[in-house]
Amino acid sequence: MPHSALPRITSFLSAFARRQAARVVDLPGGFAVYDDAFVHSHANNQLIVDGAVAPEALPAVAEEALGHLPYRLISVLDDGVGAACAEPLVRAGYTHSTYLVMLHEGPVPAGGSAEVVDLDALRIPLTRRWRDLLPDAGDAVVRHLVDRREARRRAADVVHFIGARTAEGEVASWADLYLDRAAGLAQIEDLITSEAHLGRGHADAVLSTALRLAAGQDCGTRFLTADAADWPRHWYERRGFSVIGRTHGFERG
């Protein structure tokens, strides 16, 4: 049986995408989100499937919705629907990734030396990180990937950027924290540490602080998503998170 928290989490993810978008177009089985201010950001211009859909028809739906873009991104929030859509989408040239929905079921850390920071404090480390990941990307691409965080402020009732600083004051590790206090739900997302500061406990400080802040706002359902094929999932498991569901991502171009 699915975990009892999973439907609320899926609803939150769907609502977050809608609220973040500058424009939404409803489609069979889901909706497309667009933001021309961040046209280089795939996450801000994509197709979200949050309902029943005909798998064989999905490639054509994506072409209709995203045909003006040089890339295609489809996020399927239901595990069963995503598995059913994999074959026709891979056949149409998409790569398939699976993401884990991980719920925090361990004790909430008592401490956490990170703090809420503003976006300006993250611009330099975020820019450096994206240039490391995408060395051939142009300035506009990197700028959109950094500045798109601003759009996230409208996507949840409370949006915090959490940062852990070095002794010199540089933000070494950071993450987003999204709170829906009415639903008692919190998402921790995009936890990243600068390459120069790995292995020094900064990510632990960010995660502990985010969990403590969420608990302090009576958010008893605290979750994140992690790539099923990447090592951080195991790092999160050691810190009290467990897998309760899966979503699917399909990308081309």
**Cα-Cα-Cα-Cα dihedral sign, residues 201, 216, 153, 22:** positive
**CA gap 48, 156 in Å, rounded:** 17
Q: Can you list the alpha helix ranges (DSSP code H) found in 92-138?
A: 119-133
Confidence (pLDDT) at 1: 77
Confidence (pLDDT) at 112: 80
Taking alpha carbons only, the member of 114, 109, 99, 65 closest to residue 224 is 99
What digits encode the pLDDT tens for the residues 189-227? 999 999 889 999 999 999 999 999 999 999 999 999 999
- Name the β-bridge partners of 114: none
- Name the β-bridge partners of 225: 101
**CA gap 107, 5 in Å, rounded:** 18
Per-residue pLDDT of the chain (253 residues; tens, 9 = 90+): 789 999 999 999 999 999 999 999 999 999 999 999 999 999 999 999 999 999 999 999 999 999 999 999 999 999 999 999 999 999 999 999 999 999 999 899 987 899 999 999 999 999 999 999 999 999 999 999 999 999 999 999 999 999 999 999 999 999 999 999 999 999 999 999 998 899 999 999 999 999 999 999 999 999 999 999 999 999 999 999 999 999 999 999 9
232, 192 Cβ separation under 8 angstroms: no
**CA gap 87, 107 in Å, rounded:** 40
Confidence (pLDDT) at 81: 98
| Matching residue, tokens 């995503």 | 82
Confidence (pLDDT) at 110: 86
CA dihedral 153, 117, 148, 101 (to 10 degrees): -70
